[in-house]
Structure 1
Amino acid sequence: MSSGGGDLDAARTVLAIDSATDSVVTGIVQLTGETVADVRALAERVVTDHRRHAELLTTLIAECLAESGISRDALAAVVVGCGPGPFTGLRVGMATGAAFADALGLPAYGVCSLDALALDTTPPAGRPDVLVVTDARRREVYWALYRDGARVRGPEVTAPAAVADELSPVFTAGEVGAASGSASHLELVGWTGAPPQATVPSARGLVAAAAPAIIAGEIPEPLVPLYLRRPDAVEQKARKLGAAR
């Protein structure tokens, strides 16, 4: 990697993709260091429509490239949110990100989508914990707890009442200073603080989660989706087999 200013900036221009929520998120991000403060979004698109993930994503990527003035050849890496998220939507973003990286010979870094939300959340002084909760459907939530920017619990998929029981002592102690994710699902787990600072993973948060690995030039692991439970199709097949027996 060159240490020259222009070459360095180009080498750290990253495409970010996430489809772990009902929103399709993509963006072109400039990376100059390993912290969230060193990440700057050049262009970003967020469209909420869980039925059109596959239809929207390629178009949104093209729009971000055009707006940022960055060519595909100038990209250094692709960062993909790996969930947790529903099976169908999540695999659209991951398949698109993997195919894009493969076509251009770029490394594809997978990150936990909840980590990206946490990195877009700033707790007040003296209350270092951040709670992230998103909709897992089936009357469950995906959630994780962070302290000083590091994940200390999760990601998990759990019924909201069970999360509320588990987090009640933490809420009582006043350790959780901020939250992000789905406002309605945060309420279900007992969060009574300020509204969520971020509701979906941002392109900036996604790249910030992968920044240390990108800067270090690490060879990424294969992209692995965080479903946290088996896909519906598998479960339905298993039920049919059980009934037949």
Structure 2
Amino acid sequence: MPILLPTLLAIETSSELASCALLRGDVVLSRASSGVRTHSQSILPMVQELLAEAGVTLADVDAIAYGSGPGSFTGVRTACGIAQGLAYGASLPVVPVVTLDAMALACHQQHGAQRIVTVLDARMGEVYWAQYDYQDGLQAVSPPALSAPAGVAPQGDVVGCGNGFGAYADALAALPCAATADAAIMPHAVQVGQLARIAFAAGQFVTAAEAQPLYLRNKIAYTSAERLDMQAAKAAAESVQ
């Protein structure tokens, strides 16, 4: 008897790349946008395009997944808020996925890497990084951390990925993996959705009210514009069918 895969809608806005993906059976549909509009404005039209392309509504979706962070403070809050809005409106569970996990999965898929270090530009002279092993699934060896580039210290022979290798090329040049690191790999909703399927099947999901961003750096306050954008995006998400 075939195993029925859950249908998931995934959202990722933790970096300059905003993306969403719909995973339904063996079919994966996705959209991405970079630098055209703010993520709070661009993500919902992409979600509606995906639902229309697949010929489904939110009532046909089993869960909403989102990239919980680390990443841009406003970006991870936006993804969480939109996921909450969609989930509230359709009474769906929510699956948070660590953004660095999604990058590591992409590195495995694209390069066959078994031991991986992900390095994401955190701005302000810092990076988010983590180390993983891929053996019958992704396992975190070193959990996500915030540090100066000099603090990135993977153990053993690893494959590097993430835009941190481009943003801080000189500071990371001493790492053996730096010369071949794939700086183009970024958090994407496709891998967020793929990891969320595994978590959902294992019962690792929360209610919309329980969904939270993963912050590794504190920020004092949102600007008024940021707060209004996020409130508007969350409210709009609640009306999506």
| Fold shared per TM-score above 0.5 | yes
Q: Quote the residue 1:142 is aligned against.
A: 128
Deviation of 1:98 (Å): 0.8
Deviation of 1:219 (Å): 4.5
Contact 1:14 1:29 in 2 (8 A): yes
Q: Quote the residue 1:17 is aligned against.
A: 11
- Cα pair distance change 1:193/1:150, threshold 3 Å: farther
Residue 21 (structure 2) pairs with residue 27 (structure 1): yes
Deviation of 1:214 (Å): 1.4
1:142 and 1:74 map into 2 onto residues whose CA distance is 35
SS of 1:233's equivalent? coil
Larger radius of gyration: 1
- Cα pair distance change 1:62/1:25, threshold 3 Å: same
Residue 135 (structure 2) pairs with residue 152 (structure 1): no
1:88 and 1:200 map into 2 onto residues whose CA distance is 17
Match 2:172 to one of 162, 165, 189? 189
1:105 and 1:198 map into 2 onto residues whose CA distance is 36
- Cα pair distance change 1:40/1:151, threshold 3 Å: farther
With normalisation by structure 2, the TM-score equals: 0.77
* Deviation beyond 4 Å, 4+ runs, structure 1: none
With normalisation by structure 1, the TM-score equals: 0.76
Structure number with greater CO (CA < 8 Å, separation at least 6) is: 2
Contact 1:22 1:50 in 2 (8 A): no
2:60 and 2:2 map into 1 onto residues whose CA distance is 15
1:233 and 1:207 map into 2 onto residues whose CA distance is 30
Cα RMSD of the aligned pairs, angstroms, is 2.6
SS of 1:82's equivalent? strand
Match 1:48 to one of 17, 20, 34? 34
Question: In the comparison of the two structures, how many residue pairs are matched?
Answer: 211
Question: Which structure 1 segments of 5+ residues have no match?
Answer: 32-38, 235-245
Residue 166 (structure 2) pairs with residue 180 (structure 1): no
Question: Which structure 2 segments of 5+ residues have no match?
Answer: 223-241
Superposition map of 1:30-179 within 5 A:
30=24, 40-41=27-28, 43-49=29-35, 52-122=38-108, 128-148=114-134, 149-163=138-152, 166-167=153-154, 170=155, 173=156, 175-176=157-158, 178-179=159-160
